[in-house]
């Protein structure tokens, strides 16, 4: 079941890459494991998918203790400053940095363990008030400020598109983040696209997709 789902997701990633004239190895898959069991995660590892995305530090901790560094761990959800200490110990990439205060805390905690913490800046491209993320206009300034922290390395940008029925709208948000990504320049990772919109995201330039339900739901369905 899981193997079929994963295979299908990989095929769809490859097809989207082909459709948009990109090479399939340009897009990395983060398996979002927030609803997955340890058994499922171990199976996914055996199937050769090695990046797990969790949306809270709390949720990741016990799984990390059980599985450890056999996987790479990404934090895809919001990070509270008081959890930065645990976050830098677990995650190889934090997708959700959106304030200078949070970056400062990450830098401080990373320094304590002599780590350079890789991060992405989360951008709220839709302007929805319920979403975390820096405003697109502020992202460049934030990135510049964060770049002065010695124990943080900014690798790229991340966004969560709003759930809308019209895929053309979703495309517009992804396109906007890609424009910002190109405008800033020198970045490697563009993290956008989830189970319901990853194909559009890849067509618009995503280099990393974060997929949970299409892999871990029993039938791979997510409608
Ligand atoms: C849950 C989550 C995902 C994965 O969503 P699915 O719809 O399950 O694919 C991706 N990114 C973030 C930030 C999430 O919280």
Series of mean pLDDT values for 10-residue runs along the chain (223 residues): 96 97 96 97 96 97 96 98 98 98 98 98 90 94 96 98 84 96 97 96 98 86 54
Phi, psi of 5 (to 5 degrees): -60, -45
Three-class DSSP labels, 35-75:
CCCHHHHHHHHHCCCCEEEECCHHHHHHHHHHHHHHCEEEE
Ligand 1 contact via 213 beta carbon (within 6 Å): yes
CA end-to-end distance (rounded Å), the chain: 18
Ligand 1 contact via 16 beta carbon (within 6 Å): no
| The predicted structure's pLDDT at residue 219 | 66
How far is C-alpha 38 from the chain's CA centre? 20
CA of 148 to the centre of ligand 1 (A): 30
């Amino acid at each position: 079941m899981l193997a079929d789902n994963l295979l299908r997701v990989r095929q769809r990633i490859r097809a989207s890459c082909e459709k948009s004239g990109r090479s399939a190895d340009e897009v990395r898959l983060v398996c979002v494991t927030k609803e997955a069991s340890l058994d499922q995660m171990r199976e996914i590892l055996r199937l050769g998918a090695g990046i797990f995305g969790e949306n809270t530090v709390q949720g990741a901790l016990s799984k990390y203790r059980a599985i450890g560094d056999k996987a790479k761990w990404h934090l895809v959800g919001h990070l509270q400053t008081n959890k930065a200490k645990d976050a830098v110990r677990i995650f190889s990439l934090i997708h959700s940095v959106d304030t200078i205060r949070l970056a400062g805390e990450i830098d401080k905690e990373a320094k304590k363990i002599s780590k350079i913490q890789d991060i992405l800046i989360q951008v709220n491209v839709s302007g929805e008030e319920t979403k975390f993320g820096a405003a697109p206009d502020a992202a460049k300034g934030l990135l510049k400020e964060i770049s002065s922290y010695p124990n943080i390395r900014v690798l790229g940008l991340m966004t969560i598109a709003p759930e809308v029925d019209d895929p053309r709208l979703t495309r517009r948000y992804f396109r906007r983040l890609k424009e910002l990504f190109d405008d800033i320049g020198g970045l490697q990772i563009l993290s956008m696209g989830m189970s319901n919109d990853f194909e559009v995201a890849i067509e618009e330039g995503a280099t990393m997709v974060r997929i949970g339900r299409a892999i871990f739901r029993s039938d791979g369905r997510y409608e």
